[in-house]
Each structure stands twice: as structure tokens, then as C-alpha cells.
Structure 1
Amino acid sequence: MLRRIAPILLTLVVVALGITALSAGPQTPPPRRSADYVVVVGVAGLRWEDVDPQGTPTLWQLARDGSIGSLSVRSAHQPTCPVDGWLTLGAGSFAAWTGSRSAGQCPPVEVTVEQPDRIGANLPEQESVVLHNQDRLPWGTVPGALSESVRCSVAVGPGAAVAAARPFGRVDRYEPTLPEDPADLLGSCVLGIVDLGVVAGEDPAVRAAAARTADAQLARVLAGRPPHSLVIVAGVSDTERPSRLHVAIADGPGWENGWLTSPSTGRRGYLQLVDLAPTALAALGRPMPDRPFLGRPAESVGGRPDDLSVAIAEPADADREAAAQRQVAAGFFTLLAGVQVVLAVAVLPLLRRARRHAGPYGPKPVPRRVVATVEVLLVAAALAMPAALLAEAVPWWRNHHPAATFAGLTAVLLAAATLLVRLAPGYRTTLGPLGAVAGLTALAVGLDVVTGARLQLNGVIGYSALEGGRYAGLGTVGLGVFIAGALLSAGWLAQQVRRGWRPMVMVVVGGAAVVVVGSPFLGADSIGAIALTAGVSVAAAISAGGWLTLTRLAWAAMAGLAVTVGFAVVDLGRPSAERGSLGRFLAALGDGTGGLTVRRSSASSFDTLVNSPLTVLALAGALLVWFALLQPWGGLMRLFGIYPAIRAAMAGTAVAAGVGGVLGAAALDVAGAAAALVVPVAALSALRVLDHSADRTRPGPDRPADAGPVDGGPVDGGPVDGGRADGGAATPDGAGAESDDRDGTKPDHEGGATPGRDADQAAAGGADGAGSGPGPGRGRAVRSSAEVATG
């Protein structure tokens, strides 16, 4: 009865952990009114490197008094050109202007602005722009949503007219240029939007001149700002490829001397362009529009250095890091995919010749040094992503040659990690490298997440603030690597205990991983937590042996569904502004706009599938496993039979990575990141098992002569117990004291008799021929005492 109800109880534990991790979120106080007027000042292309006390004294003083941050200017187009940025500012959601543009370049802001009454203005193109964003783009953006939420708005300059135009094209009050004394103009409406031009190009002298011009106009805006007002200065767009992070400053009551942040980023010092519209409405105490903004109201948090030069250096450095990350990441993943494909091809002949032959005939075995070298290379390939993550602890992007610096630093860390695994006490055993690699990987990613995921932000294997998808927590690549590391670590630990305790070990370790992934305070990835819950349930169900039956798969699916439903209920109960991605999607289904979310996810998945090097990693790993490792000569089936907890961990990893990719619109990126770890250690472990498939067991006081074959012992010690069938001398290593797992574990049943061994181990011995009679390519399973004595 206990065996029957154990899967149910363990599944309930995993579900409870998953829902607890997802539902415990930080309490966000509701936004409160803080100003009577809001003035948004935009300077397209303005970056923190353009701000200094001599050239831009007004910006410098405003940053000293107010709160500052890095602004991600993502819109519906990449790069975000000035007209796209202004439109996104006024829409509060990703938007794009109609018209064509050359690759990588932004056209000047050429917008037709009509002034029929010399008070307001009209944009005749606005109607077509609204239709374009509503029908052809997948966000359902409503241009002009910000101005529609206030009674009156004023715009200065053509870019501001784009932001302030209502959906039908009307701008309430408009001036093409900033007056010498703008006090009356800015005080005529509660919302003012001012366009101060463009800072473009990479020539420092040209950028400095444009920044000085904008700074002088900003001084007039501040001199004429209404009383009790909030002034927001933003670099509202890029001016060319590649994208960059830009200036964000907020100055007003309650915004003094802090960092800007937003619930949409969850990261101190980071803000999105789509956050500016809800920030303005929240400061004015106005309700949000019926169709919610994609952005969230910004807020000011403490912790900023007192020295403004030190404070500004931080977002400027983040901009440099994000720019360097984009250049390095593509090359790193392409190189990693190429190396792993080459290793997969190199492993094939080793697998074919790894099994020892009992007869006098057979192919010559591969030299031990060659096998040992390939094993070290497999360990290094599996540790490449953790090494790249740890390389982010050193500011390599500040060097004049960031790509070369990152490559050298990663190579040094990779060599150190590989040496650490190579010198580990259990390296000689079958599962030693697997356990060490998985443990180091889970530890590296887990500690980074627990300490704020600083290494993933703008990191090569993390996520870029320029992409606008994630700013905190666990990224897509990190999720795949952490899933593989956590579940393989759980499988290795479970294999060290008796069979009855293995599911509990899987649940404890896997449940802790679910909390790390799903907690809003840590990984903040609800989709990843749901996927990992399903994977942990699968792994726990088969960790003690047996097959992945339909019943067990159904339990895993029910566990993931239960976590999803539980979190959905909690998320829908929150205010609309505080809901996560799942709650927003379900709410969209309720109001009939869920199709837009599905459309965005489908487009994102297809783009990722086609363009990501991780797709190659996932497909190459799947081909190696299916057509080589899982074949009778490949060794993986034998490994699974002898070590059922490892089979459970790998099956759970496959389930979690697949579900996470599908639900997270990441295509094969999660699976590719997991495969980069799992496939090399699986190939290495398969080589170890095949190398010992013909080992003999010396009879001893605790193990009778008919106990059957034992796989997986020390590699460099030769045959563990009984010598080779080709006449080699027997070796006494571990004679009479080996367990069924050969990694220091105790046998599942004391005494070592054949009926007491794992059923999966016996099945493995028969499946690949290791337990059949002598012949070419096969080893004898049992040697009698007389045979051992005579050698």
C-alpha cells in the first residue's frame, strides 16, 4: 500500500512546493499621486556617456537631485527609431510607425503636423498608424492611449506631437519649437511632452555638441516647469543599430536621490520606455486605460551612491556591457555548438570499440590515453556554460578587445573547473564525472540566482537589457542549464541511497530547485517552475526503477497542471497591475485578446527556432542520443538499467526542457542549453559502462560466484574483480566488496545474490548482450571459483 500511495504523496509535495514558490510574491504598494503636472522631455539617442558636469550641467544637476536609471527603448521595431520611440511613449505598449527604413538605419523624424487653428495640431497619418498597430502587429497597441487618459496634453516639437496625438490624430495644444519662456505653455495642461532633438552618431565631438544644445533647452524647460510637477527626461530611442541603453531621470516630490526601477523590470536602476506612460498617469493620480499598458509605473528606490560620478558610472558601464554582450554571445554559442557536434562525431568510434571482447578475436581497443583525452574534453564541453557565467564576475567588457578578453577568461575558468573535476576523488568511477559536473553547474547557477542574478544580467549566457524581455531572475539559457544540473545532481545523490529512499531524494532536491526557479524573489520564472515541476514528478516516479508508464507520465502531467491551475487562481486574484504572465494571459482570454498573446508567442518561437545556435545543440544532442547512445552498442541503455536514478534524472530533464520551451515561447533554447550539459556527461558515462561490461566478479565472503556481472568501477584499474576473458591476470581491486552501483553505494539487497539485484540491471545485462555466453563481442557474465584461481 505504501508503494502504491508513494507516487501520489510525492506528487502532492511537488505541487505544494511549486504553488508556494509561485504565489509568494513581493508586496507592491499601489501607486499614489505625487504631482499636479508631469512634463516628459525626450532626447532621442541620449546616453549616459553624453552626460558630464561641464558639457551638460543642467542634466548633471537634474540627475543629482532626482532618481536615475538605464532606459531600455524596445519597441515593435529594431532598432527603435525616434518616431517609433515617441509613438511607444504615447502608447504605453510596443508600437511602430508605418513606412519603410533602410537596414540598420533610422530615417529622420518626418511627420506631417497640421495646425488648422494655431492652438492644437492634427496628424493626418495617425489613423493609418493606429490600423497598422492594431491589425498587423501582435501587441494590440493603441497609439495615443496616454493622451486619451488625461483631459489635456501639450506637445512641443514633432516627436512630442507623435506621442501626444490622440488615436484620431488630434493634439490638444502644440508648438513646433520651445518658447523662450515655456511657463504658460507647460502650465496649460497637466501633461506636457517636449522634444529636444536628437543626439546621434559615434563621433564624440558631434554627440557632445548635440547634447549641449539639448541641455540648454532643458534649462528653459526646468525654469518654466509648473509648481509641484514631475519632470522625466528620457533618451526615447536609438538612432541606428546596434541598440543601446539610454538616459532616464525623474525629478520631483518623492523622486529624490534614488534609483529608478519598475515592476516590469524587477531590477534596481532599470526602466523600460513603455513604463513612462503608466508612470505619468500614476503620478497624476489618473486611472489606467481599459486596455492595460505593457509597462508598469516606475518608482524610486534607495541605495544610490552619494557621489554622482560613481552613480552615473554604473548605468554607463551597463550600457557598455550590454553592447559587448551582443557581440560576444552569438560567437560563443556558435563555437560551443560546433565543438559539441565535433565531439559527438568523435565519440561514435569510441562507443563502437569500448566494449571489451571475451574471445581471441575482435577489434583492437582504443588506446587508454585517447579515451582519457576524449573524456576530459567531454567534461570541458559540459562545463562551458557555467564557466562563461562565472566569467561575468570580471568586467571583461571594459577591455579594448572584449571578445578576446572574454574568450581568454572563460578558457582559464573552464580549465580550472575541468581540472577540479579531474582531480575529484570519485572521478575514476562511472558516475563520478557526471555528479561533479552537475553539482558544479547547479551550484554556479543557483548561487547566482540566490544572490540577485547579477551574472546573468547582460551576460553572455544570460539575458540582455537591450532585448527588453527579462531584466531579473533566471533567463532562458540559465533555466535549461539549471534544470539539467539540478536534476542530474538529484539523480546522482539518489543513486547513493537505497532504492526506497530515491524518490524522496529526487523530490527534496527537485523541490528546492522549483523554489529557486519560481520564486518571485529569486528566479521569477513561473513557466520554468511549472515545467520543472513536471520534470521532478517524472524523475521521482521512476527513480527507484521501472519504466515511464502511462500512469506515471499522467501523474507528472497532472502535477504540472495542478501547479499551473493553483498559480493561475492566485495570480488572477491579484490586481491587474501586479499579475504575472500567466494571469495576464488568462485575463486576455477573458476579454477576447488572448489571440494576440498566442500570435506573439508563435512568432517568437519560430524566430528563436530558426536563428538560435542552441537549436543546433538540441538537435545534435538528440541525434547522438537516439542513433548512438540508446543503441545496444551505445551503452546508455545499460547505464539506465544499472543506475535507474540517472535514467530518471535524464527523463525528467527532457520533460522539463520540452515543456519550458513550449510554454515559454523559447522553441529549443531551453532544450539546447540542457543538452549542452546532459549529452557530454551521458556519452562519458556510457563509455565508462561499456568499458566495464565484461568485468568479472571475484567470489568473496559477501558475494557468491553466481552473483552476475557488475558494471562501473575504477577506470584506470583495469577489470575490477576478475581479469579479462583473453587470459589477462585477475586483479583484486574491490574484490568481494562491490555494490551493484560501483560508486560507493550499498546494494539494494544485502548478500549480492542475483534475485536481489535491480531488475533494471538484469534487464540491461540481457539487452546489450553483456550477460550472454562467450562469443565475439560478448563477455561472460560469471566465472567459477576454479576459473578465478587458475587465471
Structure 2
Amino acid sequence: MLRRITPALLTILVVSLGVAALAARPPQDSPRRTADFVVLAGVAGLRWEDVDPQRTPTLWRMAQEGSIGSLSVRSAHRPTCPVDGWLTVGAGSFAAWNGSRSPEGCPKAGVTVEQPDGIGANLPDQESVVQHNQQRLPWGALPGSLSESVRCSVAVGPGAAVAAARPFGRVDRYAPALPADPRPLLGACVLSIVDLGTVEGTDAATRAAEVRAADAQLARVLAARPPRSLVLVAGISDTAQSSRLHVAVAHGPGWERGWLTSASTGRDGYLQLVDLAPTALAALGRPMPERLFLGRPAVSVGGRPADLAEAIDAPADADREAAAQRDVSGVFFAVLAGVQVLLALGILPLLRRARPHAGPTGPNPVSGRIVAVVELLLVAVAVTVPAALLADAVPWWQGDHPGWIFAGVTALLVAAGTAAVRFAPGYAGTLGPLGAVAGLTALVVGLDVLTGARLQLNGVVGYSALQGGRYSGLSTVGLGVFLAGALLAGGWLAQRVPRGWRPAVTVAVGGLAVVVVGSPYLGADPVGAIALTAGVSVAAVISAGGWLTISRLAWAAMAALAVGIGFGVVDLRRPPAERGSLGRFLSALGDGTGGFTVHRSSTENFETLVNSPLTVLALTGGLLVWFALLQPWGGLMRLFGIYPAVRAALGGTVVAAVLGGLLDGAALDVMGAAAAVLVPMAVLASLRVLGHAADRTRPVPGRFRESGADDDSGSGGVGPTGGDDIPTGGGPLGAAHPRPVSGPPASAPAAAPAPDAPTAGPDGPAEPPAGGSAVAPRQATRSSTEVAAS
């Protein structure tokens, strides 16, 4: 009865941990009304490196007194051109102007603005722009949503007209430039949008002149601002092919000396372009069109340095790091994929010759030195991604050659990690390297998440604020390597305990990993937590032996569904402004707008599948496992038979990685990141198991229980404790002679059989090793584990 209810109890435990981790949320400052008027001033291309007391005294004073942050100007088009940025401001969602884009950058053509009555204006192209965003783009943005949320709005300049135009093209109040006295115009409506110009100069002198001109216009706006008003200054777009982070400043009552942040980023000092519209409405105390706005209202939080120069250095340095990350990340993953492909091709001949030949003739044994070098290479490849994550602790992006500096730091960390694994206790065991690499990987990623995921933000193996997809928690690559490390570590630990305790150990380690991945305080990835729940459930039900049956797969699916449904119910009970991504998706399904989310996810999956180097890693690993490791000569099936908990961990990792990638719109990226750790360790463990394929050990009375007893031999366990007692390191594949379980004392060598004498096997006498065999004479014994496996 206990065995029958164990899957149900484990499922309930995993579901409880998952829902508890996802339901807890950090406290959020509720947006409140802080102003009677809002003035949104935009400068296309303005970056923090342009701001200093001499060139921009007005903006410097605003930043000193107000709140600042880095603005990600993501829109529905990349790069975000000025007209796309203004349109996104007015839509509160990712939008883009229709028309073609040149490969060189943004189009120079201006926006047509008609003034039939001298008061407002009309945009004749607005109708086609609305249709383009509603029907052809996956975000379903409605340009003009911001102006539709207030009674009237003012626009100054053509860019501001794009942001202030209603869906049918009407601008309530319009002026092509600031009048001599802007006070009446800026006080005519509660919302004013001002185009302060564009900063697009490539040389220092031209850029400085454009920045000074924009700052002078800003000074006139501040002098004419209405009483009790909030002024938002934003670098609303890029002006070149390469995306950058831009300026965001909020100045007014309640915005004193802090960092800007929002629920859409979850990171202090970071804001999205789509957050500007909700921020303006929240400051005015107006309701927001939740179904149309993807952004969230900005708030001011503490922790900013008192010295403004020091505070500005942080977003300026983040912009430099993000720019360098974009150039280095693609090269890093391409090189990693190439190395893994070459290593996979090179390992095939070694796998063919790994198993010692038991007959009179056979291939010559592989040199122990060659095998040792190959094992170290496999370890080095497996720790490369965690090493690249740690490399971001060094400011490599500040040098003249950031790519080479990053490569050097990563190489040193890879060497250090490989040495740590090589000299770790238990490295000689068959599962020693696997356990050490898995533990090291989970530890590195876990510690980074526990300390705020600082290494993943703008990191080479993390996420970029320029992309606008994620600003806190686990990245796609981080999720892949963490779930691989956590599940492999759980399988390694489970293999060292009696069979009955293995599911409990797997659930304990996997449940902790679910909390780390899903908690908004830590990994902040509810989709990843749901996928990992399924992987942990699969690993738990087969960790004690047996196959993944339909009933066991059903338990795993039920656990994942229960976590998803439980969290969805909890998330839907929150106010709309506080819901997470799952709650917003379920709400969209209820009102019939969930198709946009499904369409975006499928589009992202396809684009990622085609363009990502991690797809190569996933496919290479899958081909190597299927056509080599799972073959009779590959060793992986033998490894699975001897170590069922490791087989469970590998299976659970594949399930979690594939589900996590597909549900999160990342295709095979999560699986590719997991394969970077998983496949090298599977190859190494298979090589070591094959090295013991011809070992022999005499049966010793009392070593095992009587036939029919409930021991671990039938489930592939090792000895009475199920531990790893196959030390390796000296045979033809680096394998040492197994530890003797009994026998005559070392002082009586005469009692030992001659090297070429037959030894008794479990079923009778074994044939003596021939001189031409690949098995060394000292390998004429076989461990109890191999006896059980065969």
C-alpha cells in the first residue's frame, strides 16, 4: 500500500512546493496620484553618456532632484526608430510605424501632420498605421490608447503628434514648436507631449551641439510647466542600427532622488518604453486600459547614491555592458556549439574502443593518458557556461578589446573549474565527475539568483536589457544549466541511498530547485517552475528503477498541471495591475484576446529555433545520444541499468528543458543550455562504465542477501547501499582495479591466483583473459555492480 500511494504523496509535495513558491510575491509600491498635470518630453537618441553639468545643466539638475533610470526602448520593430518610439509611447504597447526599413537604419522621411483649423492637427496615415499594428503585428497594439484615456492632450512637434494622435488621427492641441510663451499651451490639457528633437550625431562635436539644443528646449519646458506637475524626460528611441539604453528621468512631487523601476522590469533602475503611458495615467489618477497596455506604472525606489555623478555612472556602465554583450554573446555560443560538435565527432572512435575485449583477439586498448585528457576536455566543456556567467563579475566590457578580455577571463575560470572537479573527492568514481560538475553548476547559478541575478543582467550567458524580454531572475540559458545541474545533483545523491529513499531525495532536491526557479524573489520564472515540476515528477517516479510507464507519465503531467492551475487561480485573484504573466494570459483568454499571446509565442519559437546557436547544441547532443550513446557499444544503456537514479535525472532534465523552452517561446534554447552540461557528463560516465565492462569479481558469501531479498542488486544499485563503488583511474580507459570485497591478506600473495588463471564468476568459472585482449590482467575481476547489471 505504501508503494502505491508514494507517487501520489510525492506529487502532492511537489505541487505544494511549486504553488507556494509561485504564490508568494514581493511587496510592490502601489502607484498613486502625484500630479495634476503630466509633461512627457522626448529626445530621440539621448543616452546617459550625453549628460553632464556643462552640456546639459537643466537635465543634470532634474536628475539630481528627481528619479533616474535606464530606459529600454523596445518596440515592435528593431531597432526602434524615432517614429516607432513615439508610436509606442502613445500605444502603451509594442508598436511600429508601417512602411519599409532600410538596412542602414531608420528612414529619414517625416510624418505628415495637417493643421486644418490651427488648433489641433490630423495624421492622415493614422488609419493605416492602426490597421498595420492590429492585423499584421503580433502585439495587437492600438496607437492612440494614451490620448483616448484622457479628456484632451497637447502635442508639440511632429514626434509628439504621433504619440498624441487618437486612433482616428486627431490631435486635440498641436503646435509645431514651442511658442514664445509655452505656459498657456502646456496648461491647456492634463497631458502634454513635447518633442525636444533628436540626438543622432556620430562625432563628438555634432552630438554635443544636438544635446545642448535639446537641453535648452527642456529648460523652456521646465520654466513653463504647470503647477503640481510631473515632468518625464525620456530618450524615446534609437537613431542607429545598434540598440542602446537611454535616459529616463522623473521630476515632480513624490519622485525625489530615487531609482525608477516598474513591475514590468522588476529591477531597480530599469524602465521600459511601454511603461511611460501607464506612468502618466497613474500619476494623474486615471484608470488604465489594462487590455491594451503591456507596460506598468513606474515608481521611485531608494538606494540611489547621493553623488549624482556616481549614480549616473551605473546606467551609463550598464549601457556599455549591454552593447558589448550583444557583440560577444553570439560569438561565444557559436564557438561553444562548434567545440561541442567537434568533441562529439572525436568521441565516437573512443566509444567504439572503450569496452575492453574479452576474447582472444581485439583492438589494442586506448592509452590511459588519452582517456584522461578526453575526460578533462569533457569536464571543461561542461563547466564553460557557469564559467562564462562568473566572468561577468569582472568588468571586461570596460576595456578596449572586450571580447578578448571576456575570452581570457572565461578560459581562466574554465581551467579553475576543471581543476576543482579533477581534484574533488570522489573524482575516481564512475559518477564522481558528474556529481561534481552538477553540484558546481547548480551552486554557481543558484548563488547568483540568491544575490539578485546581477551576473545575468546584460551578461553574455544571461539576458540583455536591450532586448526587453527579461530584466530580473533566471535567463533562458540560466534556466537550462540550473535545471540540468539540480536534477543531475539530485540523481547523484539519490543513487547513494537505498532504493526506497531515492524518490524522496529526488523530490527534496528538485522541490528546492522549483522554489528557486519560480519564486518572484529569486528566479521569477513561473513557466520554468511548471516545466521543472514535470521534470522532477518524472525523475522521482523512475529513480528507484523501472520504466517511464503511462501511469508514471500521467502523474508527472498531473503535477505540472496542478502547479500551473494552482498558480493561475492565485494570480487571477490579484488586482489586474499586480498579476503576473500567467494571470494576464488567462485573463486574455477569458476576454478573447489570448490569441495574440499564442501567436507571439509560436512566432518566437520559430525564430529562435532557426536563428539560435543553442539549437545546434541541442540537436548535436540529441544526435550523439541517439546514434552513439544509446547503441549497444555506447555505454549509456549500461549506465542506466547500473544507476537508475541517474537515468531518472537525465530523463527529467530532458522533459523539463523541452517543456520550458516551448512554453516560454524559447524553442530549443533551454534544451541546448542543458545539453551543454548534460551531454558531456553522460559521455564521460558512459566511458567509465564501458571501461569496466569485462571486470570480474568472485562472489563472496554474505556480501549480498539471499535470493529474493529486497536489495538493490535487482534495481541496478551498487552493493547494499546503492553507492558508487567503482573507482576509476588506472585501466585502459583510466579504470583502476575495483576495490576487493574480500580475499586473502596482502601478506600472503601466494594464495592469489595467477594472472592468467580462470576466475570464478557468478555463474561458474570464467574464461581466462587472452594475451591479445584489451583487458589488462589486473582487470580480471568484476565488480558486484556489473554482476548485478548483467
1:114 matched residue in structure 2: 114
1:682 matched residue in structure 2: 682
Query: Which moves more between the two structures, 104-113 or 440-449?
Result: 104-113
1:6 matched residue in structure 2: 6
1:305 matched residue in structure 2: 305
- Cα distance in 2, alignment partners of residues 139 and 632 from structure 1: 50
What SS does structure 1 have at the residue aligned with 2:25?
A: coil
Listed one character per residue, the Cα deviations across residues 484-517 of structure 1 (whole Å, up to 9, x for unaligned) are 0000000011111111111111011100000000
- Cα distance in 2, alignment partners of residues 783 and 373 from structure 1: 25
**Cα distance, 1:406–1:772 mapped onto 2, change above 3 Å:** farther
- Cα distance in 1, alignment partners of residues 158 and 590 from structure 2: 38
1:614 matched residue in structure 2: 614
State the shift of 1:29 in Å.
Answer: 4.0
What SS does structure 2 have at the residue aligned with 1:537?
A: helix
**Cα distance, 1:705–1:349 mapped onto 2, change above 3 Å:** farther
Kept after mapping to 2: 8 A contact 1:274/1:293: yes
State the shift of 1:772 in Å.
Answer: 11
2:742 matched residue in structure 1: 736
State the shift of 1:782 in Å.
Answer: 7.4
State the shift of 1:705 in Å.
Answer: 13
Paired amino acid for 2:473: G
- Cα distance in 2, alignment partners of residues 288 and 565 from structure 1: 27
**Cα distance, 1:570–1:495 mapped onto 2, change above 3 Å:** same
**Paired residues for 1:49-448 under 5 Å:** 49-108=49-108, 110-289=110-289, 291-448=291-448
**Cα distance, 1:169–1:719 mapped onto 2, change above 3 Å:** closer
Q: Give unmatched runs, 5+ long, in structure 2.
A: 708-712, 719-723, 744-759, 784-790
Kept after mapping to 2: 8 A contact 1:40/1:232: yes
2:570 matched residue in structure 1: 570
**Cα distance, 1:542–1:189 mapped onto 2, change above 3 Å:** same
- Cα distance in 1, alignment partners of residues 25 and 308 from structure 2: 32
Kept after mapping to 1: 8 A contact 2:691/2:731: no
Kept after mapping to 2: 8 A contact 1:630/1:637: yes
**Cα distance, 1:704–1:2 mapped onto 2, change above 3 Å:** closer
What SS does structure 2 have at the residue aligned with 1:200?
A: coil
The match for 2:727 among 709, 714, 717 is 714
Question: So what's the TM-score if we normalise by structure 2?
Answer: 0.92
2:657 matched residue in structure 1: 657
Kept after mapping to 2: 8 A contact 1:717/1:733: no
State the shift of 1:464 in Å.
Answer: 0.3
State the shift of 1:699 in Å.
Answer: 4.8
**Paired residues for 1:696-707 under 5 Å:** 696-700=696-700, 702-703=702-703
State the shift of 1:30 in Å.
Answer: 3.0
State the shift of 1:291 in Å.
Answer: 2.6
Kept after mapping to 2: 8 A contact 1:772/1:778: no
Kept after mapping to 2: 8 A contact 1:474/1:523: yes
**Cα distance, 1:219–1:559 mapped onto 2, change above 3 Å:** same
What SS does structure 1 have at the residue aligned with 2:393?
A: coil
**Paired residues for 1:507-526 under 5 Å:** 507-526=507-526
Listed one character per residue, the Cα deviations across residues 682-734 of structure 1 (whole Å, up to 9, x for unaligned) are 000000000011112145565389999989622224399x99xxxxxxx6844
**Cα distance, 1:704–1:666 mapped onto 2, change above 3 Å:** closer
What SS does structure 2 have at the residue aligned with 1:641?
A: helix
- Cα distance in 2, alignment partners of residues 135 and 73 from structure 1: 23
- Cα distance in 1, alignment partners of residues 782 and 305 from structure 2: 74
State the shift of 1:86 in Å.
Answer: 0.2
**Paired residues for 1:579-590 under 5 Å:** 579-590=579-590
State the shift of 1:574 in Å.
Answer: 1.1
State the shift of 1:735 in Å.
Answer: 3.5
- Cα distance in 2, alignment partners of residues 78 and 700 from structure 1: 71
**Paired residues for 1:776-787 under 5 Å:** none
Kept after mapping to 1: 8 A contact 2:381/2:676: yes
Paired amino acid for 1:309: A
Kept after mapping to 2: 8 A contact 1:79/1:104: no
Kept after mapping to 2: 8 A contact 1:87/1:162: yes
Paired amino acid for 2:68: I
Question: So what's the TM-score if we normalise by structure 1?
Answer: 0.91
**Cα distance, 1:559–1:191 mapped onto 2, change above 3 Å:** same
- Cα distance in 1, alignment partners of residues 58 and 96 from structure 2: 31
- Cα distance in 1, alignment partners of residues 511 and 782 from structure 2: 45
Paired amino acid for 1:736: S
Query: Which moves more between the two structures, 573-582 or 155-164?
Result: 573-582
- Cα distance in 1, alignment partners of residues 349 and 652 from structure 2: 29
What SS does structure 2 have at the residue aligned with 1:366?
A: coil
Listed one character per residue, the Cα deviations across residues 106-133 of structure 1 (whole Å, up to 9, x for unaligned) are 1236011111111111111101100110
What SS does structure 1 have at the residue aligned with 2:477?
A: helix
2:459 matched residue in structure 1: 459
- Give me the identity figure in percent: 73
- Cα distance in 1, alignment partners of residues 357 and 706 from structure 2: 20
- Cα distance in 2, alignment partners of residues 109 and 262 from structure 1: 34
What SS does structure 2 have at the residue aligned with 1:77?
A: coil
Kept after mapping to 2: 8 A contact 1:269/1:315: yes
1:638 matched residue in structure 2: 638
1:472 matched residue in structure 2: 472
Paired amino acid for 2:98: T
**Paired residues for 1:483-632 under 5 Å:** 483-632=483-632
- Cα distance in 1, alignment partners of residues 542 and 768 from structure 2: 30
**Cα distance, 1:404–1:195 mapped onto 2, change above 3 Å:** same
- Cα distance in 1, alignment partners of residues 566 and 727 from structure 2: 47
State the shift of 1:205 in Å.
Answer: 1.5
Aligned residue pairs total 747
**Cα distance, 1:189–1:636 mapped onto 2, change above 3 Å:** same
- Cα distance in 1, alignment partners of residues 738 and 405 from structure 2: 50
- Cα distance in 1, alignment partners of residues 96 and 60 from structure 2: 31
Kept after mapping to 2: 8 A contact 1:123/1:165: yes
Kept after mapping to 1: 8 A contact 2:368/2:730: no
Paired amino acid for 1:274: V
Kept after mapping to 2: 8 A contact 1:390/1:455: yes
Listed one character per residue, the Cα deviations across residues 46-68 of structure 1 (whole Å, up to 9, x for unaligned) are 00000000111011000000000
1:741 matched residue in structure 2: none
State the shift of 1:642 in Å.
Answer: 0.6
Paired amino acid for 1:715: T
Paired amino acid for 2:326: R
Paired amino acid for 1:716: G
- Cα distance in 1, alignment partners of residues 470 and 738 from structure 2: 57
Kept after mapping to 2: 8 A contact 1:688/1:712: no
What SS does structure 2 have at the residue aligned with 1:259?
A: strand
What SS does structure 2 have at the residue aligned with 1:232?
A: strand
Kept after mapping to 2: 8 A contact 1:699/1:705: no
- Cα distance in 2, alignment partners of residues 474 and 652 from structure 1: 19
- Cα distance in 2, alignment partners of residues 104 and 52 from structure 1: 30
- Cα distance in 2, alignment partners of residues 656 and 405 from structure 1: 34
What SS does structure 2 have at the residue aligned with 1:197?
A: strand
1:744 matched residue in structure 2: none
**Cα distance, 1:255–1:461 mapped onto 2, change above 3 Å:** same
Kept after mapping to 2: 8 A contact 1:705/1:782: no
- Cα distance in 2, alignment partners of residues 732 and 97 from structure 1: 71
2:710 matched residue in structure 1: none
Paired amino acid for 2:601: S
**Cα distance, 1:154–1:380 mapped onto 2, change above 3 Å:** same
Kept after mapping to 2: 8 A contact 1:435/1:492: yes
State the shift of 1:736 in Å.
Answer: 3.1
State the shift of 1:358 in Å.
Answer: 1.9
2:751 matched residue in structure 1: none
